[in-house]
Structure 1
Amino acid sequence: MDETLKAQSDQFSMLLTQKLIDAIKEKGFKTTVVAKEIGIGQASMSRYINGVREMPMSTFMAICTYADINPQRLFNAAYTQTNAEPIEINPAAMTEEQKKQWTLDHMQDYGFAANENHDKEREMESDGTI
């Protein structure tokens, strides 16, 4: 398989799994309960969630069915994110403020939560406000 296609496939699989886990959590389910209900072990579920093993499509569909999640919505979201145009970034040409803002804007893309008030909190700590 072409290396680019392999990388894109791996990225799609990872994103699809993440979209599924996010949807499970949005529905208020715990992954351990879902695993038990669909008949897979918690260790297997953990391997799928953590990207150690690729989730079989039958497991993906069983989870979607159990949790009443539309698999097409997840596929579309993962596909769109996989095929997003790459952004050319030249950090040397960015100000520190631009770098900070770009990081805050894109942290969620990589599964991180941004705390935009971090600098303010640091200022408050240093002046004894908190």
Structure 2
Amino acid sequence: MSLDLTTVNKTPNELWVRLRIAMKENGSKCTGWCYIPGDHDYLYERKPKSFKNFRPVVDLHIANRNWLPIYTHYGEHAPIVEVNAHHIKSYVITNRVFMIPVEVWEAEDKARYERYQTMRGDKNGD
């Protein structure tokens, strides 16, 4: 039985996008993963999986932030750098990942293990 990301406990998926950012002042560049909070399941369900669909969501996220934390890998908790969102000249989306939140994933694993144990107990006569 595979997990469908859009139906697991009706919890919204985490959206991570990989950005290549160019800054205004000195033209320095930064590459890394950025976490976009919110319910973005509608982007997961779209048939053309183009990065153009993600651009408005990322634009809105950057517009509402002062500092944009950039991570080495998706799913991490410690940023490698925080970029001033007002000094971003341009950015390019190079990848995206939808993740099940960790607490939902752990709950699903625990439920699967408990079902397995009860089935095993029934077979062994316990």
Q: So what's the TM-score if we normalise by structure 1?
A: 0.30
Structure showing the higher helix proportion among its residues? 1
Structure showing the higher strand proportion among its residues? 2
* Structure having greater relative contact order (Cα 8 Å, sep ≥ 6): 2
